Amino acid sequence: MTVPLDIVIDRAHGGRWTSLRAGDREWLWRRDAPERDKVFPGDAFVDAGGLEECVPTVRGDPDHGDAWSRPWTREGEADVVRCDRFTLARTVRATTDGAEADYLLTADAGFRFVWAAHALLDLSDQAGLHLREGARTRLFPEAAPQLDGAWPEGDPWVEGDWPAPRGVRLDRFGPDDGTAVGAVVDASHCCVHDRDDRLALALEADGQPLSIALWRNLGGFPAQDPYRSTGVEPMLGRVFDLTEAGPGDAARVPASGEARWRLTLTTHCRCA
């Protein structure tokens, strides 16, 4: 069954999606973080939940990118943010079975970037993530204690096959076990199942590397005051930190000076 998606966006505070609702189901996890309202570019990231637009990197400098800490403006039908090296415009519209978001990033030709729709979802510990069986998956260093072997010294990631790369099962969001894992899967679409509810996410972009990033924090982060947060993040690129991107690991602005992509969300599964 398809259900329309209602989206609420806070343009004044980073263009963050603060609600993604299908009927009585709220999909986005949020937390009380009043300091978020006072941030400036260059400030440390404040995790308020929702869906963040992370660009031109996720991890690294600036942490979670350069767009989340800036006010966005409404220009015609688009939400727009202007950063030092690029401008990002996003147009969100409802569809009969969900929503679409079209993106336009304008920058110098050759500009390299990573973008992620950093969606932190409010999921039960029975929820699961459906992706193509055997998809190549990168695990990042926080997963080291869970590997079925030692972490290779100096390597920024290790690789394996979905759903259990290097013995780390990733397709379930519980029960909470005090771990936190970041991964990037070579895929353009996925579906979250939580009991009877479905949320499918799909990404399209000509000539760009497409992936689904995963942040599965089951009470393992941060070390001093851990909480549960689960991210399913359609991504342009194949790394969290742009500085770690090798050939083919980052998106690139073509000669036209414009990079375009589309994020589609629906309430029925497309991953069968």
Residues 123-142 have a mean pLDDT of 97
Q: For 82-93, how does the pLDDT look when each residue is reduced to its tens digit (9 = 90+)? A: 999 999 999 999
Mapping DSSP to helix (H, G, I), strand (E, B) and coil, where does residue 38 land? helix
Residues 165, 208: Cα–Cα separation, whole Å: 24
Q: What is the predicted pLDDT for the residue at 270?
A: 66
Q: What is the token pair recorded at 230? A: 């689960």
pLDDT digits (tens, 9 = 90+) for 149-183: 899 999 999 999 999 999 999 999 999 999 999 99
pLDDT at 207: 97
* Token pair for 136: 């190549």
Q: Which residue from 265, 248, 171 is spatially nearest to 210, judged by alpha carbons?
A: 248
End-to-end CA distance of the chain: give it in Å, rounded.
15
In this model, does residue 214 exceed pLDDT 70? yes
Q: Does the pTM exceed 0.75?
A: yes
Contact 185, 159 (CB under 8 A): no
pLDDT of residue 4: 80
Geometric angle at alpha carbon 165, from 159 and 171, rounded to 5°:
130
What is the band of 125 on the pLDDT scale with cuts at 50, 70, 90? Answer: very high
Q: How many other CB atoms are there within 10 angstroms of residue 81's CB atom?
A: 22
Mean pLDDT for the stretch of residues 225-247: 97
Across residues 240-269, what is the average pLDDT? 97
Rounded percentage of the chain residues whose pLDDT exceeds 90: 95
Q: Is the Cβ–Cβ distance between 119 and 5 less than 8 Å?
A: no
- Find, among 165, 65, 77, the residue nearest to 118 by Cα: 65
Give the span between the Cα atoms of 34 and 201, in whole angstroms.
Answer: 29
The string of pLDDT tens digits covering residues 184-202 is: 999 999 999 999 999 999 9
User: What gap in Å lies between CA 32 and CA 47, rounded to an integer?
Assistant: 9
Question: Of all residues in the chain, what percent carry a pLDDT higher than 70?
Answer: 98
> How do residues 104-122 score in pLDDT, each as one tens digit?
999 999 999 999 999 999 9
Residue 271: the pLDDT is 62
Residue 3 has pLDDT above 90, yes or no: no
Please state, rounded to an integer, the average pLDDT across all residues of the chain: 96
- Which pLDDT does position 163 carry in this prediction? 98
* HSE value, Cβ hemisphere, 13 Å, CA-based, for 258: 7
